[in-house]
Amino acid sequence: MVGNQSDASGRRAARVAEKAALRRELLAARRARSPESRRAAARALVRSASGLPELAGAATVAAYVSVGTEPGTRELLDALRAAGKRVLLPLLLPDNDLDWAVYEGPDGLTETAHAGKMALLEPSGPPLGPEAVTGADAVLLPGLAVDARGMRLGRGGGSYDRVLERLERAGAHPALVVLLYDEEVVARVPEEPHDHPVRAVATPSGVFRF
C-alpha cells in the first residue's frame, strides 16, 4: 500500500512539474507577441467565436475580461451584448473562487486591485453569487492550451477548476469554449483527475471541436 501511494504521489508530482514547464513556455510565447499582433488576433477572435452555434443560440454567456497578453475579449464581449446576450463576468473572491455580475458595457467595468495579483477589470453591478454561472448556456474559459482530447491547461490558480466543479455538482451542462491563439491548440497537455474536457476552442483562424 505504501509503495502504491508513493508511486501515485510521484506521478502526480511529475504531472504538476510538466504543467508548470508547459505554462512557462506558453506564457513566454505570449509575451513575445507584438501589440499589433494581439490586436489583430482579438479582432479575428470575434469573427471565429461569433460563428459558434453554442454562442449564437445562448441567452446567457459567462465570459471574462482578458488581461495582459491573453487573447483579447473586449470586442467579443461587446459583440455578444450587442447580439442581445446576457453576459456574466467574474468577480475574484479572496479565496480565488469567482462571483459573477452582469456586463453592462465598457463603462460598467472597474479596475480592481487584488493582493498579490495584477489588477483586474471587473463589472461594477451587484454580485449575483458564485452559483449564477450554473444558469449560463455557454461558458467562455481562459486557458493556455487545449489538446486533441479537449483537455485544457489553465494558469494554475484554480478559479475555473472551481467553476467547472460547481457546474458538475449542479448538473449544469453549458457549452464550454476556450479562447486561445492558434498555436496553443497542441497535441497533448498533462492531465490530472480534476481536469474537465471542453467542447470547443475558438482561435483567430477558426474553431476546433472535440
Mean pLDDT across 168-187: 96
Secondary structure in 3-state letters for the chain: CHHHHHHHHHHHHHHHHHHHHHHHHHHHHHHCCCHHHHHHHHHHHHHHHHCCHHHHCCCEEECCCCCCCCCCCHHHHHHHHHCCCEEEEEEECCCCCEEEEECCCHHHEEEECCCCCCCEEEECCCCCCHHHHHHCCEEEECCCEEECCCEEECCCCCHHHHHHHHHHHHCCCCEEEEECCHHHEECCCCCCCCCCECCEEEECCEEEEC
Q: Is residue 105 over pLDDT 60?
A: yes
Q: How far apart are the first and last CA of the chain?
A: 37
CATH of domain 2-209: 3.40.50.10420
Q: Is residue 6 over pLDDT 70?
A: no
pLDDT at residue 2, as a whole number: 56
Mean pLDDT across 63-70: 95
Mean pLDDT across 167-171: 96
Between these two residues, 201 and 5, which has the higher pLDDT value?
201
pLDDT at residue 195, as a whole number: 78
Beta bridge mates, 112:
120
- Domain ranges (residues) in the chain: 2-209
Q: Is residue 194 over pLDDT 80?
A: no
Q: Is residue 4 over pLDDT 80?
A: no
pLDDT at residue 30, as a whole number: 97
pLDDT band at 77 (very low <50, low <70, confident <90, very high): very high
Q: Is residue 168 over pLDDT 70?
A: yes
pLDDT band at 156 (very low <50, low <70, confident <90, very high): confident
Q: Is residue 7 over pLDDT 70?
A: no
Q: What is the pTM of this model?
A: 0.91
Order of all β-strands in the sheet with 98-102: 98-102, 86-92, 60-62, 138-141, 175-179, 200-203, 206-209
Mean pLDDT across 12-22: 85
Tell me whether strands 120-123 and 109-112 are parallel, antiparallel or unpaired: antiparallel
Q: Is residue 73 over pLDDT 80?
A: yes
pLDDT at residue 151, as a whole number: 94
Q: Is residue 10 over pLDDT 70?
A: no
Identity of residue 132? A
Dump pLDDT digits (tens) for 108-150. Answer: 999 998 877 778 999 999 999 999 999 999 999 999 999 999 9
Q: Which three cell numbers stand for residue 45?
A: 477572435
